[in-house]
Amino acid sequence: MRKVITVDGPSGVGKGTLCQNLARELGWAYLDSGALYRLLALRALAAGKADAAAAEIAALTTDLQIDFRLDADGCTVLLNGEPVGNELRSERCGNAASKIAAYPEVREALLDFQRGFAGDAPLIADGRDMGTVVFPDAPLKLFLTASAEIRAERRYKQLLAQGESVNLRAIYAEIAERDARDRSRSVAPLIPASDAVVIDTGNLSISDVQQRVSAEIAARFSFSLTLLSTRELYGIIC
């Protein structure tokens, strides 16, 4: 069986940095499924097709060549070998991605790509339906969660640090709307797998979360690890 660790959950719970730390420490491949939908959303926005029919948007997936390059500073998303800019992580792109991710045709178009990503190499898979749909047989499934209020506060602080003018109430409203959309969609809703380990990161320190995950890895695989990253666990919203 392929070694796969899935990490699912809504935006702002710390999935991105946790998954990147795991991939670095273990030397495994890293798949950010949220970036796939964001890249597709960028394509749709650029083509004026953000509100197009599902089949039209799904057709935009045909020549996607995507990779993820990890280094000490984070993760660079590559499209056709070229780095993608900061627009990929914008609120505009994220909201568009959440909308198109609700289309069954789009999810089906990206399913085989995700399952075949990195061949048979061990994989850390970050997303919203990695454990329920994409890799249902993964040996370890994690589901991170936190209240919308806590996640909005994290996002607010992150954007302020980047020099952006933001409104906490508006960020909370966007997160609540996206949560409702992700959890209520008919295909691959945002829910934990029945055998997932659920971790509420809301009141946990970085060290607490990493220790819990390390213990789960040691229990399921024939090795253990210590996540020593000093980076802010909640610094990447995905």
Q: 178-225 pLDDT, tens per residue?
A: 999 999 988 899 999 999 999 999 998 777 888 899 999 999 987 766
Q: Does residue 233 sit within a domain?
A: no
Report the candidate in 181, 196, 166 with the shortest Cα–Cα distance to residue 11. 181
Helix, coil or strand: residue 233: coil
How crowded is residue 227: how many other Cβ atoms within 10 Å of its Cβ?
Answer: 18
How many percent of the chain have pLDDT more than 90? Answer: 68
Q: Does residue 62 sit within a domain?
A: yes
What per-residue confidence (pLDDT) applies to 17?
Answer: 84
What per-residue confidence (pLDDT) applies to 201?
Answer: 95
Q: Does residue 34 sit within a domain?
A: yes
49 vs 39, 94, 131, 194, CA distance in Å? 13, 15, 30, 36
What per-residue confidence (pLDDT) applies to 64?
Answer: 83
User: What's the structural domain count of the chain?
Assistant: 1
- 151: number of CA atoms within 13 Å, CB side? 24
Q: Does residue 234 sit within a domain?
A: no
Segments forming the whole domain that contains residue 134: 4-220
Q: Does residue 230 sit within a domain?
A: no
In the chain, which residues have pLDDT < 50? 228-238
How crowded is residue 83: how many other Cβ atoms within 10 Å of its Cβ?
Answer: 10
Q: Does residue 228 sit within a domain?
A: no
What are the φ/ψ torsions at residue 213 (nearest 5 degrees)?
-65, -45
Q: Does residue 238 sit within a domain?
A: no
Specify the CATH number for the domain of residue 139.
3.40.50.300
Q: Does residue 225 sit within a domain?
A: no
Percentage helix, strand, coil for the chain under 3-state DSSP, each rounded to 5: 45, 15, 40
